[in-house]
Structure 1
């Protein structure tokens, strides 16, 4: 499919429309069923993805929601670097700040670093609480 998209000079947003156009038989029936099930919900999920932030979730919880919602907004995660950038943008400012000194271009690298930073922050918090009790 990627070769066809390149040859046809399809932009990211057009890829899905073209792929739907070439579906046949049961595959096209499945797609129609998905559209009926989701209806406008797909647009809502895409909006949720664009606005997704870690907030009070753990990095693991944020990653789970990010992965789920990204299926509704493939144009925002078309490349590994896009996926990594979008994920990093949704992290809490303190985690983003600590990650800024690293050049992480893959999603897995960004995820792993965010998990390490979160774990270290929790250890530091526990250590500070323990010292205050002494």
Structure 2
């Protein structure tokens, strides 16, 4: 609780839901929480419409089912709050990213921001470097 993870109610931009999820996950990893604690803490940070989603999700789980894992929470949270089509658009935006009028630093930051939506494209460091260099100005 000292990490002061943000509360999530809803987001007009679905990518804010992804940012919230990542921020909470980072805090939970720092705190070295076990799987159950991660779910309890993350779900405790939900309010309003997001809390309604969580309540509805839990009602859909049978009483005798095993406890919801943090990966299930994360996957279902993302599936509900972040449309697949948006993730696909961000993947395409990453794959077609060019430096254009950006400085190298701006391009690097945009590359890092968008690469999280295409983890398979940057899983290998050599491939990541190749993709980064491909988007730079030809003169560089």
Query: TM-score, with normalisation over the residues of structure 1?
Result: 0.51
Q: Which residue of 2 aligns with 1:67?
A: 112
Equivalent-residue separation in structure 1 for 2:79 and 2:107 (angstroms): 26
Larger radius of gyration: 1
- Measure, in 2, the Cα distance between the counterparts of 1:35 and 1:44: 15
What are the ranges of 5 or more consecutive residues in structure 2 without an aligned counterpart? Answer: 1-67
1:26 equivalent in structure 2: 70
Residue among 80, 102, 123 paired with 1:78: 123
Structure 1 distance, partners of 2:118, 2:70, is: 24
Secondary structure (helix, strand or coil) at the match of 1:64 reads helix
The answer for the alignment partner of 2:97 in structure 1 is 52
Higher relative contact order (CA 8 A, sep 6+): 2
Task: State the 1:92 CA deviation.
Answer: 0.7
Structure 1 moving runs of 4+ over 4 Å: none
User: How far has the Cα of 1:36 moved from its partner?
Assistant: 2.2
More helix by share: 1
Task: Indicate whether 1:43 and 2:88 are aligned.
Answer: yes
Structure 1: 5+ residue stretches without partners: 1-23, 96-134
TM-score by length of 2: 0.49
Matches within 5 A, 1:3-18: none
2: CA distance, partners of 1:37 / 1:71: 17
